[in-house]
Structure 1
């Protein structure tokens, strides 16, 4: 799978991925306030992106999309922490199918990182709500996503796939800085 679209996309967005990691590294997930701020920052991205993906027909491209949604898990964790999630602004674009797949690639990649973070949060704060970070923790969802992603991405223009991924990474960086 050396020439996979995923690997091309990962290479093309590596610098942005590093910026996201750096932006979120300042959040102290070991304390409740830091964890809450982290979840709020993620909600600023996940909620509007998921809504835009759904309005644009992501379920036709990623058939198990309903099981992949995480905004409700984010809201549940925030509620458990005594915080109501803010109403987020809708995206100001009309996503193409290629953009949707690129953005979905970033959201699904963040799920992988979330599993590692869930362990860190749980160790520091037993009983902390982890619906978002541990979403689909019992079912390996990445291989199934990649299969659908690669199949759908072959049909899409590269520039649209790349734009969706870059836009989503940029949204995460902006949200992290708003803290």
Structure 2
């Protein structure tokens, strides 16, 4: 039930974020790709730090799901320094349920990153080891990691009845993605 509601009630926000990201453009320029990685880093760093403060279900293995280091690696490979994080675009996540809503957005983005990885490989000749670590997610484990996440989220929602807070956390996170993808970040080579 919660997964269906999340998909349905956040679809418009998902579509707006997808439109703003533009990494599926053809042709895709290296400069635009690096700029997008910088925008995502400015959001992911403070967001993942905020999520780490919550008591998330242990079976989620949140430490294994963090992506900030992958963004840093990609930026380093592409000879750009990570920008300063932008805490102003970090969603307010007062409860674990809100945090799980945020994770729904991040984990869904990881799942979608598989398509982006193949596109970036074709457009820019980069690989998961050289410039596309972030979008390649968990590699062949991406599908199983998604299923483990959705199982844990469903169990949490059934046990707590906090569907509305989960939905609110997802909505706030999508709004922050929109703001982050409209930010002009300063990247230094």
Q: TM-score, normalised by structure 2?
A: 0.84
- CA separation of 1:171 and 1:144: change in aligned 2, threshold 3 A: same
- Give the root-mean-square deviation of aligned CA atoms: 1.9
Give a deviation string over 1:7-59, Cα, whole Å, max 9, x none: 1111111111111111113775722101101111111222111111101223x
- Segments of structure 2 that go 5 or more residues without pairing to the other structure are 185-189
Query: Residue 38 of structure 1: which of 14, 36, 39 is its match?
Result: 36
1:23 and 2:20 aligned? yes
- Partner Cα separation in structure 2 for residue 95 and residue 41 of structure 1: 24
Contact 2:92 2:172 survives alignment (8 Å): no
Aligned to 1:100: 99
8 A contact 1:98–1:156 mirrored in 2: no
The alpha-carbon deviation at position 145 of structure 1 amounts to 1.1
Q: How does 1:144-155 map to 2 (within 5 A)?
A: 144-154=148-158, 155=160
In the alignment, structure 1 segments of 5+ residues that lack a partner are none
Contact 1:48 1:89 in 2 (8 A): yes
Equivalent pairs, count? 175
User: Taking structure 1 as reference, are residues 80 and 25 closer, same or farther at Cα in structure 2, changes over 3 Å only?
Assistant: same
Counterpart residue number, 1:161 = 166
> Aligned ranges for residues 68-107 of structure 1 at < 5 Å?
68-90=65-87, 91=90, 93-107=92-106
Q: Return the offset for 1:94.
A: 5.0
